[in-house]
Structure 1
């Protein structure tokens, strides 16, 4: 355990504002190292947006829709009955059952580790003091040697869009929708927009996906982005690139989206997925001379320290990569920095995108390697050619390995298809090995269970190695 001497002048050594993945990671890492820790959460229950409005409910909803799609697409079940289409509230009701389980699990973490939990809003008095607004209307003042801001983010709302209209939703309020639109417009084709486009299309709803850029998810490898675009269109999503909104008009029955290109789209509902805003406006940052940017996000250094000494920030409130997995590790890293331990700046997290099919990647893309003039080669395995995918009926997708021609070092892994976010971790483990241990030939010389999806690594590695051998 690291040697740390918290000042007795403060109530706590570490006070964490927010109980999502970032806040929990910071709190657990701190208390396990002997620090006096408290957490402030402005929701009645712990878990943050991840558990209540973001990752958990949306992925549970996706899982339910995937089950429906598999039922409707499987000829075996046609002997049971016709294709079934369920209403959105029915599917949502089944999906949100996981939330109380998550809340109970994470509540137990705080109780078992004797972390003091305050329910209420928090506002800075000075760099070591917070005033808490309690649910009963009272206030309480607490002090800490170090404060970690992990307040997360919320959907961005432009001023000229009326989100009070019951036909206009964001990625939080869509989980409260109590009707099933026949036609849905999704404005914003980032990760959240693409995920919801595939979810609603999977329910048989007509979807228009409005993208302000030329391609979907431009941070992805081009081939993976193209595959996503193709399969969204395959399930009925109308993808419209290079479009910007001009006006949104809604009444009790429909929504009309006026685009700057002159197009007018009319639908039963609009889902706004165009960016997020950090939850910092109620923290009283002016009282400690700390400023957030125009999206409410805080700037941090390599140890997650803000411009104010003893005040740290982690998770969605600092922006990229805005992943629950990365946020948890950022929280642990901030705790390590406070303890004067080695602090890892999290920048190597794999991307997990839960579209239907899902996407996951780590490392560099072909475009990046080409721009850097790196001599690389590609190995591919198409799921349609693997026995496990044929058996499961989930044969859409591929695994793609990028590696250095001379050293065989794996430079990037990109997966599109069923269980992509699970499959990626096998390659991630090899990429993390030092020196010659990071070698694509590991997959050639390793025996995989058969039939498995993991076998795709052997197929892709053989494909890549054979390409190089033909060059020599």
Structure 2
């Protein structure tokens, strides 16, 4: 008889590993099934880690170019693209090796095969040598991640393109590059290549970059890109793609006018889609709607014993959310399979956060202004620019601002956005405050060392606290206005 597990997790990326580890910790006999050629998952192999390694190289190269602003004279140096890639690949290999060790030495059974549902409690396993077997489980967690979306033009397959999977295989920099897309992957790679001297044009369908961010944050990045020489072709729709001599040509329409863009290479970064092709979910009683299996707050699909987590559900495609979803799915699957008592774990997206590691960095947390508008929810909003902040002036990093969103009645912090230096670090102070439902007044009264970047967070908090005090507490003593920054 085929082996029986309490929980079978399909997919060994960030969400799947978190699910298997958690289910096993709850005492469930757990299998983790992963048939990919290389273990590690998107974040380690082609996502977070390689992109940030590349961006760090280009950031340091750019900083050397600005050395004169600080009274420093740099000797002539050059950017060695193969060496940059070699360092990135070495780091990726080290991270992947660590994850592989965790997967093989975990308190669960790792099975190197592809899984396809035969019915709600059985999957067919297909191994790399073509052999097959059947596995049964009381509960499942689907965590197969995502794949790069199909090209928006079929001709792109004929002329070829780079993407986040193939970029690390390249040997030399192209003279020119067209980047398709306006999300985090697109903008991070666009800046990386532009800072190494590649002529970059970025083509985006929407009116602004970073559609999940408020447009005022996106505008800061757009202005910086233009100053660095990156051409932005927003509000553009693709028509065709072909060869133009030894270069590749894209035809697009922008605000009614047809334009031709020519470059040596094209980088496809138009998004990802849930990886569902092998799973045969209908056999398990699950329909994908519209592209991903629907889940509730417990990460449970329409089949009560099957859970899903990570990019495959398409809710928030960032790794820390995938881990949280995986942990919830793994715990709940273990409870479902073993009949353990206690409440099922539920996920709260109130603290959703996303960060883009360009320069300036861009970060969002919780409620956005656009989201508040769509929900018809009144909010107080206050901003403060880095150009008026002492530490940013010392650093020579004055682009951007911080903004806070708060409840008009209570002053409770509801959301935040940062475009500027170290946004990826600053946003975490606000995350801690939102997690305990702190108010703008609470933040304004927290002592902050001077001079630090984090001081800037208190200034919009003071403004909101004054507004709340004036409107809701007549006769009280709101915080005095901020003194000039020395």
Structure 1 length-normalised TM: 0.89
SS of 2:448 mapped into structure 1: coil
SS of 2:454 mapped into structure 1: coil
SS of 2:359 mapped into structure 1: coil
Return closer, same or farther for 1:69/1:275 CA change in 2, 3 Å cut-off. Answer: same
Return closer, same or farther for 1:27/1:250 CA change in 2, 3 Å cut-off. Answer: farther
1:46-99 per-position Cα deviation (integer Å, ceiling 9, x unaligned): 2211211112111221122111111222226862313x4425433222222221
- Pairwise mapping of residues 57-136 of structure 1 onto structure 2 (< 5 A)? 57-75=50-68, 79-82=73-76, 84-136=77-129
1:424, distance to aligned residue in structure 2 (A): 0.8
Between the aligned partners of 1:285 and 1:371, the Cα distance in structure 2 is 33
Q: Which residue of 1 aligns with 2:131?
A: 138
1:15, distance to aligned residue in structure 2 (A): 1.0
SS of 1:263 mapped into structure 2: strand
Q: 2:401 aligns with which of 384, 388, 398?
A: 398
- Pairwise mapping of residues 192-341 of structure 1 onto structure 2 (< 5 A)? 192-250=185-243, 253-260=246-253, 261-293=257-289, 295=291, 297-338=292-333, 339=335, 341=343
Return closer, same or farther for 1:242/1:159 CA change in 2, 3 Å cut-off. Answer: closer
Q: Comparing 221-230 with 368-377, which one deviates more in the overlay?
A: 368-377
Return closer, same or farther for 1:323/1:167 CA change in 2, 3 Å cut-off. Answer: same
Are the equivalent residues in 1 in contact too, given 2:67–2:73 (CA < 8 A)? no
Q: Comparing 70-79 with 240-249, which one deviates more in the overlay?
A: 70-79
Q: 1:353 aligns with which of 349, 356, 359?
A: 356
Q: Which residue of 2 aligns with 1:40?
A: 33
Q: Which residue of 1 aligns with 2:340?
A: none
Gaps in structure 1 of 5+ consecutive residues:
1-7
Between the aligned partners of 2:130 and 2:231, the Cα distance in structure 1 is 49
Between the aligned partners of 2:348 and 2:196, the Cα distance in structure 1 is 36
Q: Which residue of 1 aligns with 2:484?
A: none
1:216-260 per-position Cα deviation (integer Å, ceiling 9, x unaligned): 223322321221221121211111122111111137821100114
1:360, distance to aligned residue in structure 2 (A): 1.0
CA RMSD of aligned residues (A): 2.6
Gaps in structure 2 of 5+ consecutive residues:
337-342, 475-486
Structure 2 length-normalised TM: 0.87
Are the equivalent residues in 2 in contact too, given 1:87–1:180 (CA < 8 A)? no
Return closer, same or farther for 1:114/1:387 CA change in 2, 3 Å cut-off. Answer: same
1:370, distance to aligned residue in structure 2 (A): 4.8
Between the aligned partners of 2:393 and 2:168, the Cα distance in structure 1 is 34
Are the equivalent residues in 2 in contact too, given 1:18–1:150 (CA < 8 A)? yes
Return closer, same or farther for 1:302/1:9 CA change in 2, 3 Å cut-off. Answer: farther
Return closer, same or farther for 1:173/1:346 CA change in 2, 3 Å cut-off. Answer: farther
Q: Where has structure 1 moved over 6 Å in runs of 4 or more?
A: 469-472
